[in-house]
């Protein structure tokens, strides 16, 4: 039995549903399409190069640049040259983002309670482990 088609369909539906629930819960339309960049930056210490963000998010470079540009115009991130490599742009969160992270964490908590209710902790660990294995399997094929 082949599961890839069913898994792909369910993941797409879940992604859209989670994105919609999160955006509605957070209720900050100006970042609703770009919050994932802020989440990653926050998770990795508030600063990263564009190249690191592309690798972490598995994002298209032009799409990520557009997101960063919007976030910069809205005052959520700044861009500067890297001291290590003048060709690299460092993306840093601003105080506006640091203050927003409380609201983002609250929204994540609501999504967590809504989407993951009736799951045991072990089930969630197994589910996350399975998703990571799928991601790693795909990454192995992509590098070949």
pLDDT tens by residue, the chain, 144 residues: 688 889 889 999 998 999 899 888 888 888 888 988 999 999 999 999 998 999 888 888 999 999 999 999 999 999 998 777 777 789 999 999 999 999 989 999 999 999 999 999 999 999 999 999 998 888 877 655
pLDDT at 65: 93
Let me know if domain 4-143 sits in CATH 2.40.128.720.
Answer: no
d(CA 93, CA 78): 7
Domain boundaries, the chain: 4-143
d(CA 135, CA 81): 31
d(CA 54, CA 91): 12
pLDDT at 19: 87
Can you give the pTM of this predicted structure?
Answer: 0.78
pLDDT at 144: 53
Task: Give the DSSP per-residue string, 31-48.
Answer: GTTTHHHHHHHHHTTSEE
């Amino acid at each position: 039995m082949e599961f890839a088609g069913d898994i792909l369909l369910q993941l797409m539906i879940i992604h859209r549903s989670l994105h919609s629930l999160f955006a509605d819960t957070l209720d900050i339309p100006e970042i609703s399409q770009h919050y994932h960049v802020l989440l990653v930056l926050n998770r990795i210490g508030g600063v990263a190069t564009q190249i690191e963000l592309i690798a972490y998010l598995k994002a298209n470079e032009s799409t990520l640049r557009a997101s960063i540009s919007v976030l910069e115009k809205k005052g959520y991130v700044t861009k500067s040259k890297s001291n290590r490599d003048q060709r690299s742009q460092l993306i840093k969160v601003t105080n506006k983002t640091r203050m927003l992270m409380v609201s983002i964490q609250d929204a994540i908590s609501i999504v967590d309670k809504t989407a993951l209710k009736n799951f045991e902790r072990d089930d969630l660990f197994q589910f996350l482990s399975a998703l990571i294995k799928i991601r790693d399997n795909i990454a192995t094929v992509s590098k070949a």
